[in-house]
A and B are shown apart, each in its own frame.
Chain A
Amino acid sequence: MTFSISLTVNGVRRDVELDNPRVTLLDLLRERLQLTGTKKGCDRGQCGACTVLVDGRRINSCLALALSHDGADIRTIEGVAEGGHLHPVQEAFIAHDALQCGFCTPGQIMSAIGLIQEGQTDGDPERVREGMSGNLCRCSAYAGITEAVLDAQKKLAEAGGTDAGRRDAA
């Protein structure tokens, strides 16, 4: 038996036939749609490496069955930079050295974008740390991650609006 779903991934409609109902959103992205920027660190929602935005909200894609997201709008790390320009969060991650090995970085960045959109941190480092604590980093680039999120948040606020914020989109 096969299952048909259609998703919008980074603005592109994808019609997918699944031969197995157990395919997770993460494995769909990585192994079937070849969008390997999203990483698998634990496959059980404990590390956050697989964080993507589904209808604007951050989720662990390893805990989501692809089938239950028929019709959803998915944004992954591949869809963050646009028109050759990095997103302010991406730029801030480089500037503050908020990464080392880089494996958790796509999840951290998606989580940071989600967190900024949630609008709950009010520029408070302690609340950023708390809000980013679903994303493990074994290299422990946490200090840089917190700085980067605060910096990007400030720049996005200055640019007006919490979501867009891309230099070319303004």
Chain B
Amino acid sequence: MTSEISLSTVPAHTRHGSNIGQPLTRRDGVLKVTGAATYAADNHPEGMLFAVMATSSIARGRVVALDVDAAKAHPGVVDVMTPAHKPELAMDPDAKTNPFMFRLDLLQNDLVRYAHQPIAVVVARSLEAATEGAALLAPRYEEEPARVGLDADESFEPAAIGIGSPARIERGDVEAALARAEHRLEATYETPAQYHNAMEPHAIVAAWDGDTLSIDTPSQGLAMAQGRLAGLFGIAPENIHIRSPFLGGGFGSKGLVSGPQVLGIMAAKLVGRPVKLVLRRDQMYGPVGHRPPTRQTLRLGFDGEGKLSALHHHAKTVSSTFDDFFEPAADISHTLYAAPAILTSHEAVRADIGTPLFMRAPGEATGSIALEGAIDEAAFACGMDPLAFRLKNYAEVEPISGKPFSSKALRECYRQGAERFGWSRRTIEPRKMRDENGYLVGWGMGTATFPALMFQAEARAVLRRDGSGVMETGAHDMGQGAWTALAQIAADALGLDLDRTEFRAGTSDLPDAGIAGGSAHTATAGMAIHNAGADVVAKLAALATGDERSPLFGAGNAGVVAREGRLHRRDDESRSEGYGDILARAGLAQIEGKGSAAPDPSVQETYAMHAHGAVFAEVKVDPDLGQVRATRLVGAFAAGRVINPRMVRSQFYGGMIWGISFALHEHAVMDRRSGRILNADLAEYHIPVNADVPSLDALMIEEHDPHVNALGIKGVGEIGITGSAGAVANAVWHATGVRVRHFPIGLDDLLVPAAA
């Protein structure tokens, strides 16, 4: 944590001894509740100018004219960056040298490939002048018909989906199993385009000093950002210093450097002064990624007792015309239900949209709502309780691979979640439950799952003679609580109290902490921290056990334990010595250790590693108006070791509310004629507000996983949305008897069939 951060006096902060597992309050809480936490757009270097992007109002065509003279003549405007007037880049923004590199729109030509694409940048002495200058550009276009949506064009099978996964995977013979099945069910579900809409718009403050670049910008992956920018500008990565102490939400949209962030850096280079560029909310509906729409067909074969024999999950999705990101929606069906024959397949079309990207649970969220809906339909077709149906098809090993699970406490999630919710009182038949006001009441459930991933990371640990310690890794806190949870791991790794541990993160000059994505950041950065702590403690122990003046002399084989700033002999804990004494006698001011983390290939080959959960939802529907309200959600999640239950609960709640949002609230509405999004703002693009949020309960189910990593962490950031979206949708069916297979479910969906 940066030095100006002071700890709260709230008692939940004071903790001695083991820190992991304690519900500490946020260490950055005081900064965040006082307005002192500095987000990118809060920076004002000396001499800074303001940049405002002009973005395309068409989805496809060319910009044939920009009134640059009018903009430049406007008082306060300093310069206008256009395809004809911009700094040279060292690399083609349309080049792609690795799967994590996406093509950017950096004014490389006059082509428009999607609505809200940047077409110019106006730099001025005030924000108002830059905004007015951008309006004066009055672009003229040569427009071509936009290709829109899931039926935009001929479809094809992508070479890979997600990041490098095969588009089609089959185990067993699905067609044969379907042909033999006693019952068959086919259902097609559609999910809409969704936009991350982090509360903090993408922003950058960039300053050049010769060929050294200093930037403030939100980043979920500092080292990758540094590498990407080094390539684009032809400078060494170490010449780029990025500060990202706080992200105002990311959800995947700040995982990779986006085009507008690079444009801010280019603008600073063009004018030779620091520049701030902040996106307008509507400009976030194009160049910074989104969750693409899907059309998913589920084909299930099962017997009269509800045993699945075949599961085919097919997903059609959309990418941009110029780059490849294919939402891996069907892959959710690899892990949850024990059908002996499983096929997952994907197809895609290209449309005139900004390239879709990772959005919280990419693939899992879209796939989950469709799979959980189809499972619910199959259960009802057998006359079975949806939980009994799921238990009947409980996967003891991962169905697609046959691998054992590293751990799987899903049965316990089902049991405890159902009990807390009161699930046993549910009717099998829909439209049978009412509340005291006459509203239709529906209860639905869904299974949650998310892979337990690990990336690569490094950390550096220091123990000082004054008995304090430092842990450094360039970790990212986008709200999940890295400043707190990783500091807890650091304190335990160093064998120190938290108030003796200085934790540094959030800047690119620290060791690479990997990417805050895939729900893997706590596991990845946490393991690097854990290992760095072990390394520095081992070095300290070597000093002590080899020194005959130390009470630990000769402990060699027995070993030592680090606790509360002292090393203790493992076989005789009364013999111990403080860190400071050991360093002082060795004449050292401090001692340093290093640690790294990476996935273990042998474990990955042996085990299937996933977090699991069960979500139970209640909705109430007005029988006359069709208005739906989610009134109660209970989630029970088994996600390995919990570092900070207070923050984990918030992550589960957040995910569960995203699930409600998926089922009932959010979607981008595309104008099929123009290819423009009609609701590119926060009034019309609905996300839940406080009044939309029901009573929530998140149970943390005990789970010890000896395989995922030494700390036993699986990750909690994304699993909450899975299961929840399906549970809410299934509850709407149970309330009304109307099975809506497209999202969000609206009151019009529920009224028309009911009246028919």
Residue in B197, B681, B690, B696 whose Cβ sees the most chain A Cβ within 10 Å: B690
CB-CB under 8 A from B10, the residues of chain A are 91, 94-95
A126 and chain B: residue at smallest CB distance? B691
CB-CB under 8 A from B50, the residues of chain A are 31
CB-CB under 8 A from B42, the residues of chain A are 30, 36
A77 and chain B: residue at smallest CB distance? B35
CB-CB under 8 A from B280, the residues of chain A are 43
Check A143/B653 contact, CB under 8 A, given A41-B682, A101-B479. yes
Query: For chain A, what secondary structure do more than half of its interface residues adopt (helix, strand, loop), or is it mixed?
Result: loop
B681, A42: Cβ atoms closer than 8 Å: yes
CB-CB under 8 A from B696, the residues of chain A are 143
A101, B199: Cβ atoms closer than 8 Å: yes
**In the complex, which range does the number of interface residues on chain B fall in?**
35 or more
CB-CB under 8 A from A49, the residues of chain B are 199
CB-CB under 8 A from A137, the residues of chain B are 199, 690
**For chain B residues 36-91, which have a beta carbon within 8 Å of chain A?**
36-39, 41-42, 44, 50, 76
A58 contacts chain B at the CB level, 8 A cutoff = no
Other-chain contact of B12, A34, A95, A136, A138 (Cβ < 8 Å): A95
Q: Give the distance in Å from the alpha carbon of A41 to the alpha carbon of B588 in the complex.
A: 50
Q: Give the distance in Å from the alpha carbon of A104 to the alpha carbon of B41 in the complex.
A: 14
Residue in A20, A99, A139 whose Cβ sees the most chain B Cβ within 10 Å: A139
CB-CB under 8 A from A22, the residues of chain B are 128, 132
Other-chain contact of A105, B25, B33, B129, B658 (Cβ < 8 Å): B33
Q: Give the distance in Å from the alpha carbon of A133 to the alpha carbon of B689 in the complex.
A: 5
B249, A103: Cβ atoms closer than 8 Å: yes
Q: Give the distance in Å from the alpha carbon of A38 to the alpha carbon of B36 in the complex.
A: 10
- How many Cβ-Cβ contacts under 8 Å join chain A to chain B? 191
A40, B278: Cβ atoms closer than 8 Å: yes
- A76 vs chain B, min Cβ distance (A): 7
B682, A97: Cβ atoms closer than 8 Å: no
Q: Give the distance in Å from the alpha carbon of A81 to the alpha carbon of B9 in the complex.
A: 13
- B45 vs chain A, min Cβ distance (A): 12
A46 contacts chain B at the CB level, 8 A cutoff = yes
Q: Give the distance in Å from the alpha carbon of A38 to the alpha carbon of B199 in the complex.
A: 13
Check A38/B690 contact, CB under 8 A, given A100-B479, A136-B199, A138-B251. no
B26, A41: Cβ atoms closer than 8 Å: no
A39, B127: Cβ atoms closer than 8 Å: no
A32 and chain B: residue at smallest CB distance? B126
Check A80/B34 contact, CB under 8 A, given A42-B682, A91-B10, A103-B199. yes
A20 and chain B: residue at smallest CB distance? B128
A41, B8: Cβ atoms closer than 8 Å: no
B247 contacts chain A at the CB level, 8 A cutoff = yes
- B146 vs chain A, min Cβ distance (A): 25
**For chain A residues 85-131, which have a beta carbon within 8 Å of chain B?**
86, 90-91, 93-95, 97, 99-106, 109, 126, 128-130
B248 contacts chain A at the CB level, 8 A cutoff = yes
Other-chain contact of A136, B201, B654, B689 (Cβ < 8 Å): B689
Check A101/B29 contact, CB under 8 A, given A36-B35, A37-B36, A106-B35. no
Which of B259-267, B348-356, B643-651 touches A? Answer: B643-651
**For chain B residues 199-252, which have a beta carbon within 8 Å of chain A?**
199-201, 246-251
CB-CB under 8 A from A95, the residues of chain B are 10, 12, 25
B128 and chain A: residue at smallest CB distance? A20
CB-CB under 8 A from A35, the residues of chain B are 35
A39, B25: Cβ atoms closer than 8 Å: no
CB-CB under 8 A from B683, the residues of chain A are 44, 46
CB-CB under 8 A from B8, the residues of chain A are 86, 91, 94
Other-chain contact of B28, A31, A102, A126, A139 (Cβ < 8 Å): A102
Q: Give the distance in Å from the alpha carbon of A133 to the alpha carbon of B683 in the complex.
A: 12
CB-CB under 8 A from B247, the residues of chain A are 101
CB-CB under 8 A from A23, the residues of chain B are 128
A132 contacts chain B at the CB level, 8 A cutoff = yes
B688 contacts chain A at the CB level, 8 A cutoff = yes
CB-CB under 8 A from A128, the residues of chain B are 690
CB-CB under 8 A from A138, the residues of chain B are 196-199, 249, 251, 687
A140, B646: Cβ atoms closer than 8 Å: no
Q: Give the distance in Å from the alpha carbon of A138 to the alpha carbon of B653 in the complex.
A: 12
**For chain A residues 128-170, which have a beta carbon within 8 Å of chain B?**
128-130, 132-146
Residue in B10, B25, B281, B689 whose Cβ sees the most chain A Cβ within 10 Å: B689
B649, A97: Cβ atoms closer than 8 Å: yes
Check A133/B35 contact, CB under 8 A, given A40-B278, A140-B653. no
**In the complex, which range does the number of interface residues on chain A fall in?**
35 or more
- B12 vs chain A, min Cβ distance (A): 7
Q: Give the distance in Å from the alpha carbon of A139 to the alpha carbon of B198 in the complex.
A: 8
- B328 vs chain A, min Cβ distance (A): 24
Q: Give the distance in Å from the alpha carbon of A40 to the alpha carbon of B129 in the complex.
A: 18
Check A76/B650 contact, CB under 8 A, given A20-B128, A99-B26. no
**For chain B residues 327-360, which have a beta carbon within 8 Å of chain A?**
none
CB-CB under 8 A from B395, the residues of chain A are none
- A168 vs chain B, min Cβ distance (A): 13
- B656 vs chain A, min Cβ distance (A): 8
CB-CB under 8 A from B496, the residues of chain A are none
A101, B478: Cβ atoms closer than 8 Å: yes
A17 contacts chain B at the CB level, 8 A cutoff = no
Q: Give the distance in Å from the alpha carbon of A145 to the alpha carbon of B320 in the complex.
A: 38
B650, A100: Cβ atoms closer than 8 Å: yes
- B10 vs chain A, min Cβ distance (A): 5
Other-chain contact of A141, B33, B200, B650 (Cβ < 8 Å): B650
B248, A102: Cβ atoms closer than 8 Å: yes
B693 contacts chain A at the CB level, 8 A cutoff = yes
* B642-668 vs A, Cβ < 8 Å mask (1 yes, 0 no): 000011011101100110000000000
Q: Give the distance in Å from the alpha carbon of A76 to the alpha carbon of B33 in the complex.
A: 11
A78 contacts chain B at the CB level, 8 A cutoff = yes
B11 and chain A: residue at smallest CB distance? A95
- A22 vs chain B, min Cβ distance (A): 5
Check A46/B682 contact, CB under 8 A, given A39-B248, A94-B30, A102-B32. yes
CB-CB under 8 A from B32, the residues of chain A are 99, 102, 105
A53 contacts chain B at the CB level, 8 A cutoff = no
CB-CB under 8 A from A90, the residues of chain B are 33-34
- A137 vs chain B, min Cβ distance (A): 7
A134 and chain B: residue at smallest CB distance? B689
B481 contacts chain A at the CB level, 8 A cutoff = yes
B480, A100: Cβ atoms closer than 8 Å: yes
B200, A20: Cβ atoms closer than 8 Å: no
Check A94/B126 contact, CB under 8 A, given A38-B35, A78-B35, A132-B690. no
- A11 vs chain B, min Cβ distance (A): 15
Other-chain contact of A101, B12, B246, B647 (Cβ < 8 Å): B246
B481, A100: Cβ atoms closer than 8 Å: yes
A109, B33: Cβ atoms closer than 8 Å: yes
Other-chain contact of B201, A41, A76, A93, A104 (Cβ < 8 Å): A41
Residue in A20, A93, A132, A138 whose Cβ sees the most chain B Cβ within 10 Å: A138
Q: Give the distance in Å from the alpha carbon of A90 to the alpha carbon of B30 in the complex.
A: 8
Other-chain contact of B25, A81, A94, A129 (Cβ < 8 Å): A94
Other-chain contact of B249, A76, A93, A139 (Cβ < 8 Å): A139
Known: A133-B690, A138-B251. 7 other contacts (CB 8 A): A22-B132, A39-B39, A41-B682, A97-B647, A99-B26, A100-B479, A142-B688
Ranked nearest first, the 8 interchain pairs of A and B with the lowest CB-CB distance are: A37-B35, A103-B248, A101-B479, A100-B479, A102-B32, A77-B35, A36-B42, A140-B657
A residues in contact (CB < 8 Å) with B? 19-20, 22-23, 27, 30-31, 34-44, 46-47, 49, 76-78, 80-81, 86, 90-91, 93-95, 97, 99-106, 109, 126, 128-130, 132-146
Q: 15 A–B contact pairs at CB < 8 A?
A: A20-B128, A36-B41, A37-B36, A44-B281, A81-B34, A95-B25, A99-B26, A100-B480, A102-B246, A129-B690, A136-B682, A138-B687, A139-B479, A140-B657, A142-B653
